[in-house]
Structure 1
Amino acid sequence: MIVVHHLNNSRSQRILWLLEELELNYEIKRYERKPKTMLAPESLREVHPLGKSPVITDEALTLAESGAIIEYLVERYGKGRFVPPPGTAERLRYTYWLHYAEGSAMPLLLLKLVFDRIEQQAPFFVKPMAQLIANQTKSSFIEPRIKQHLNYLEAELGKSLWFAGEEFTAADVQMSFPIEVAVSRAGLDASYPKLIDFLERIHARPAYQRALERGGTYELLS
């Protein structure tokens, strides 16, 4: 039995979604973020040394990293679904987006979150300087690059219905999280109609809805 070590409001929600798309039986072991720091609890280190989520266990296997988990689940249980055929242009795009989501998109969005928190939570005696540094870093480096990436993603979705081509694939599952984060943290709005349409389409999928019911509160959608 597959067990998903599921941290609230995290990347592990998309693993639940993929499992629902694959119509697999699985169990959820829940973990809650620490209220003060919003970090994962120490108990996740008992599953994986880095204490990260998502992590799955499948019999003797323990596997972390969203991209690796997605590839494993599709290869082992997909029966050819949710992945383009080998040797096609769509397969190359599929592989690209699996890596792009965490390799290019999420680092910038994480930087945005970190500098937002510095700006908001710095101690009062250093707050003016911290706010100045955070604001300048965001306006001169982080936010222009996020905009560059959003423009790029919007243009890419102008080429095909889904990220890898005309068919829905697991690459769309992987890409869902950075795009949802961009809505909640980085100003993604109706000025990017292709990206908003992508979100509306994935949120309407029955498997996505089932994953929300099982995963619990997912504040990126609030």
Structure 2
Amino acid sequence: MITLHHLNQSRSKRIIWLLEELGLEYKLIPYQRDAVTFLAPPELKSVHPLGKSPVVEDKGVVIAESAAITDYLIEKYGQGRLAPEKHSHDHIEYMQWLHFAESSGVLPLLLQTFIDLDKAETTFLKGYADSEARKIMSYLDQSMHDKTFLVGETLSGADIMISFILEWLHKNGSLADFPNLESYYKRLLLIPAYQKANLIEAEHANTD
């Protein structure tokens, strides 16, 4: 059975959604963030040296990094679902969006968060982070013009990966600045497996 090491309020909720979308049997082991530092607990380091989540165990294989997990699960268990045919134009676009979520997409948002938490004056970093976030999110918003999903008008692993960014924008109140993304996010929220992932995470929110 697949085991998912899930840190609450983290990017690993996407893997819950993916497992539910694929209809796979899995075991979820929940972890809670430190109430003061909001960091992952040290127990996660016994699973993977980085001590981060998500981490998936499958038949003796331990896999970290959300995009790698998504690619692995879809390739092994997708049976043609959630990813375009390999070597097709759509697959090239799919792979770009799959990795965009954890590279270009999330970096400026992380910078903004760290700057806000630090509460220090900056001479360059805050302006750069704000400008880069606006540029990246505008690009994503424009890319969703007249589209239902990111690639081929069919739900894919790329949409599941991008969902974390949409949630982030929703939580910080800036999603309304990007009307295509706001509509896209509302469509994703109607997907049953995504709804179930939200419920599952909520159920484990206060697990000690």
Question: TM-score normalised to the size of structure 1?
Answer: 0.87
Letter in 2 for 1:145: E
- CA–CA distance in 1 between the matches of 2:51 and 2:146? 38
CA distance in 2, matches of 1:80, 1:67: 18
User: What per-residue deviation string (whole Å, max 9, x for no partner) do you get for residues 104-124 of structure 1?
Assistant: 1111111111000011xxxxx
Worse-superposed segment, 163-172 or 49-58: 163-172
Is residue 9–residue 218 contact of structure 1 (8 Å, CA) maintained in 2? no
Specify the alignment match of 2:125 in structure 1: 137
Question: Aligned partner of 2:88: which letter?
Answer: T
The CA deviation at 1:191 is 3.0
Aligned to 2:22: 22
Distance across 1 between alignment mates of 2:35 and 2:58: 30
Cα distance between partner residues in 2 of 1:113 and 1:159: 31
Q: Which runs of 5+ in 2 are unaligned?
A: none
2: distance between equivalents of 1:2 and 1:19? Answer: 9
Structure 2 residue aligned with 1:87: 87
1:144-163 paired onto structure 2 within 5 Å: 144-158=131-145, 160-163=147-150
TM-score by structure 2 length?
0.93
Higher share of residues assigned helix: 1
Count of aligned pairs: 205
Q: How many Å separate the matches in 2 of 1:212 and 1:145? A: 29
- How far apart are the structure 2 equivalents of 1:88 and 1:161? 20
Alignment deviations for residues 48-84 of structure 1 (CA, whole Å, 9 cap, x no partner): 0000100011120111000000001001100000101
1:218 deviates by 9.2
Q: Residues of 2 paired with 1:174 and 1:144: CA distance? A: 23
1:127-147 deviation digits (Å, cap 9, x = unpaired): xxx2x328x632x21111101
SS in structure 1 at match of 2:9: coil
- Local SS of the residue matching 2:30: strand
Q: C-alpha root-mean-square deviation of aligned residues, in Å?
A: 1.7
Q: For the Cα contact (< 8 Å) 1:101–1:175, is it kept in 2?
A: yes
Q: Distance in 1 between matches of 2:174 and 2:139?
A: 13
Match of 1:169 among 153, 156, 159: 156
Alignment of 1:209-220 (within 5 A): 209-216=195-202
CA drift at 1:86: 1.8
Secondary structure of the corresponding residue to residue 122 of structure 2: helix
The separation in 1 between residues aligned to 2:23 and 2:159, in whole angstroms, is: 17
How far apart, in 1, do the equivalents of 2:94 and 2:142 lie?
16
Deviating above 3 A after TM superposition, structure 1's stretches of 4 or more consecutive aligned residues are none
Counterpart amino acid of residue 137 in structure 2: L
Distance 1:37 1:3, change over 3 A: same
Give the number of the structure whose alpha-carbon radius of gyration is greater: 1
Q: Are 1:191 and 2:185 counterparts?
A: no
Residue 102 of structure 1 aligns to a residue in which SS?
Answer: coil
Secondary structure of the 1:103 match is coil
Cα deviations by residue, 1:152-200 (Å, 9 ceiling, x for unpaired):
0111001532112211111100111122112223x42323111011111
Q: Deviations over 1:200-220 (max 9, x none)?
A: 11111100111122222699x
Percent identity reads: 40
- Given that 1:32 and 1:40 are in contact with CA atoms closer than 8 Å, whether structure 2 keeps it comes out as yes
